[in-house]
A and B are shown apart, each in its own frame.
Chain A
Amino acid sequence: MQSDAIVIGAGTVGAAVAYGLARRGLSVLVLDGDDGDYRAARANFGLVWLQGKGMNMPAYQQLTRRSVDLWPEFDAELSALTGIDLQYEHDGGLAFCFGEDGFEQRRLHLQRLHNQLGSEDPDHEMLDRGTLEKLAPKVRFGADVSGASFGRRDGHANPLKLLAALHAGILRHGGVLRSHSAVDKIVPGTQGFTIEIQGGDRFSATRLVIAAGLGSATLAEQVGLHVPLRPQRGQVLVTERVDPLLPLPASGLRQTREGTLMIGATQEETGFNTTTTSEAAAHLGHKTVRLVPALAELTLVRHWAGLRVMTPDSYPVYVQSPTYPGAFVTLCHSGVTLASTHATVIPDAIIAGRLPSILDPFHHRRFDVPKAA
């Protein structure tokens, strides 16, 4: 089978790129793995988020900012096409602060980020406790909550609806989605690439996108790219449904449209291990009760652990193979926020055969710099 493009990976990143390619009229084949794969896309928290991100990497702040700004249009088109409501809201977002020190640290952190970006109008403001209470009248905050930072570009969406809509969008634009198709071998040829999946079936395309999350490193080697990756475990708690309580999503706590509260997420260097731990549950539970004591009575319904796709500096990798032009690697751990970019800017670049200069800082060669002794 011959296509214009093959995308390896139907997670939030791969599906967004494939959707964007199909949307531009390419014939696209998406190869997906199995039900039991690691699948960061299934464990996502669902923030469409800017505040606090991109320390010492202004290009990432810019990319994120741009992506967040592209989201309303991206959401409108995708939901109209598929009839799937992504439950996207963008009325701003909060990061809660504990104690005066916590408040001051948060203020300084965001100030520094703002200075690094160098734009004139800050995207955030600090809210003292009184202002926060007015903003969230139904919430009685814990005694040591000192306030919050408010990011006006922030928002959230249902990450599973997003993924389902991207899959539906791919199909609507004539793309093909194949699961149980873990890739065995990439064979670069003169006219493109031949992909062999487990079981022996082969597929060919002129362009190839590797977006297989943590499975990408070994695939990238086959097109001459060495991309260092590691898993970082994040554990998330989900409660039973409650009446609307939180007016805005917050870093580490958001109420879904269904009414459940999502609480997260840990950052743990535990390798390829997706077990959940009671220690993390206790810690996340404690953090939440400290924030809003009345949440203590809520029942935990689900607890999961997912693996973030982490690069050494945690920022994305967008690169085209110099040895085998037409082969691209797209990797990141903020697949929801960046989905709007992945569905537009990246596919355009893949079609053009050249990544735009704004993505230069995301070349994986940045990891090759020898460490200072």
Chain B
Amino acid sequence: MTSVDLLIVGAGPAGMAAAVQARRFGLDVLVVDDQPAPGGQIWRSVETVAAAPRGKILGQAYQAGKPLADAFRASGVRYQPGTQLWQIEPGFRAFVTRDRQASTIEARSVILATGAQERPVPFAGWTLPGVLTVGAAQILLKSSGQIPEKPVWIAGSGPLPLLYLVQLLRAGGKIAGYLDTTPPGRRRAALPHLAKALGAAGDLIKGLAWMGMLRKARVPIVRHVADIEAIGSERIESLMYRTRTGQEKTVPADVLLVHEGVIPSIHGALALGCAVAWRDDQDCYAPVLDPWGESSQAGIFVAGDGAGIAGAQAASLRGELAALRVAVTLGRASEQAAAEAAKPIRRKLDRQLALRPFLDALFKPRPEIFAPSDATIVCRCEEVTAGDIRAMADVGRPGPNQVKAFTRAGMGPCQGRQCGYTVTQILAAAEGRTAQEVGFYRIRPPLKPVTLGELASLDRREKVS
């Protein structure tokens, strides 16, 4: 069994920054991450790619991750990539698997820096091969240097599709078109938050510059797309889109990339019993945290986008704050010193967070995401449709866990990561309740796959005979 002061789960911006900060106080830190190299999703493969030609394609914000990855490596932290964490028990004891070997880690405190995932967007045909998320395509570009072979369709809303389109142009990729699903009126809704956001004007200017590049490259852009369907038998062959003004078109498609924003990964926090609260501004749950990032479970911190979406820079800052507090609780720093050290970090964090209300309002998920047609698959693993969920809502007024028991939605290997919010929102709509009232699946270990053999190797009651 490994024993450490601090276990950090995730080696993205938050996890790396927390590790570097904690090492400054001499804490014994172990970072486990399921990815093969540090950087998280935003800086995937940054160590090897930042200086390569691909680094230029990906842009400065990507290359900016390299110094933190270097600092992380140099910090003296213990780092286990390719490691999946499947359970944490009070005390804390964490259970992980690496190279098909299970092991136990004892830690005095834990920082969950598990980041975000793209918001699942169920629509007809979204399970067909050839339909991927924009984030997935960007990961392929970062870690493998690959792009769609034929002209690609991109559908969605938010900064990521724009960034990827720009990167694709730089890489010499071909774009069939961008189906912008941002509904009309979002800019007006976002405007009141603009003044506050100007503190981080750099990011806003970047967004405008991206749009300019797309226009210059004559990327076909269809605005106010309300409805998309991927069509094909064994893979996507064509796609149909419908705009809010009723314009409908079916076009050939080889690859369709979709993106409707990102949501915090909260499975770890939920499984640990950390309190979460619904966030109307981001249409998701986020853990309830104190100003240092400590959750309702003492000794368990959440940092980075897992604490609520705020981007890579904010994630690093939150990681530093959490590590400061851990140093205090473990007696390696005084309250006063931590408060002092936190001041400049909080100032920078406030600037980052000031940008969010504007972005959240501008890219608020369109209502159609939460109301897929009856025939649309909601749970990809168990192939449960929206109609199946609605049929359950008609029988009594069940909650997500009753629906899970009766339909198998959420019972597959992804453990509700792709269907959880959709089930909640469908029930909320059917019952005239809010998503907060309806709640979420009860999340239990294993958080990541573990085999019976790996489990058996941990049995301390009897030795394998």
Contacts and interface: CB of A to CB of B under 8 A. Distances in A.
Direct A–B contact in complex, judged by CB atoms less than 8 Å apart: yes
Interface of A: 10, 32, 34-36, 42, 143-144, 160, 163-164, 167-168, 171, 177-180, 237, 239-240, 258, 263, 275-279, 281-286, 288-290, 295-304
Given A177-B396, A278-B93, A298 B451 contact: yes
Given A160-B406, A240-B413, A278-B95, 15 more contacts: A10-B396, A163-B406, A177-B396, A277-B89, A278-B89, A278-B445, A282-B458, A285-B453, A285-B454, A285-B459, A286-B462, A299-B413, A299-B451, A300-B446, A301-B411
B456 interface: yes
A167 B439 contact: no
Contact of A302 (B95, B402, B411): B411
B395 A177 contact: yes
Contacts of A240: 413
Interface residues of B, number: 41
Contacts of A36: 399, 401, 439, 442
Contacts of A171: 395
28 contacts: A10-B396, A35-B398, A35-B401, A36-B442, A143-B465, A144-B465, A168-B395, A179-B398, A276-B445, A277-B89, A278-B95, A279-B461, A281-B455, A282-B457, A284-B455, A285-B452, A285-B453, A285-B455, A286-B455, A289-B453, A289-B464, A296-B453, A299-B449, A300-B446, A300-B451, A301-B411, A301-B413, A303-B444
B445 A167 contact: no
A277 B449 CA distance: 16
Contacts of B402: 35, 42, 179
Given A300-B451, A303-B446, A304-B444, A288 B456 contact: yes
A34 B399 contact: yes
A287 to B, nearest CB: 8
B139 to A, nearest CB: 23
| Smallest CB-CB A-B distances: 6 pairs | A35-B399, A296-B453, A285-B455, A286-B459, A286-B456, A282-B458
Interface in B397-441: 397-402, 405-406, 408, 411-413, 415, 439
Contacts of B188: none
A300 B449 contact: yes
B395 A167 contact: yes
Given A34-B399, A171-B395, A296 B451 contact: yes
Majority DSSP secondary structure for residues of B touching A: loop
Given A35-B402, A177-B395, A303-B444, A295 B459 contact: no
A297 B451 contact: yes
Contacts of A160: 405-406
Contacts of A35: 398-402, 439
B450 interface: yes
Contacts of A237: 452, 455
Contacts of A282: 455-461
A278 B106 CA distance: 14
B450 A299 contact: yes
Contacts of B117: none
Nearest to A288: B452
Contacts of A281: 87, 445-446, 455
B195 to A, nearest CB: 42
Contacts of A278: 87, 89, 93, 95, 445, 455, 458
B450 to A, nearest CB: 5
A32 B455 contact: no
A284 B459 CA distance: 9
A106 B445 CA distance: 34
B459 A283 contact: yes
Contacts of A34: 399
Nearest to B397: A179
A179 B433 CA distance: 14
Contacts of B450: 299-300
A300 B452 contact: yes
Residue among B412, B415, B446, B462 with the most chain A CB within 10 A?
B446
A188 B397 CA distance: 28
A42 B405 contact: yes
Contacts of B452: 237, 239, 263, 285, 288-289, 295-298, 300
Contacts of B413: 240, 299, 301
Interface centre among A144, A237, A303 (most CB of B within 10 A): A303
A160 B273 CA distance: 26
A3 B399 CA distance: 26
A176 to B, nearest CB: 9
A163 B52 CA distance: 59
Given A32-B396, A35-B402, A302 B459 contact: no
Nearest to B404: A42
B456 A180 contact: no
Nearest to B462: A286
A13 to B, nearest CB: 16
A181 to B, nearest CB: 9
A177 B393 CA distance: 12
A286 B464 contact: yes
Contacts of A179: 396-398, 402
Contacts of A164: 406
Nearest to B438: A35
Contact of A180 (B397, B401, B412, B442): B397
A78 to B, nearest CB: 15
A179 B457 CA distance: 43
Contacts of A297: 451-453
A130 B457 CA distance: 29
Most buried by B among A36, A171, A278, A286: A278
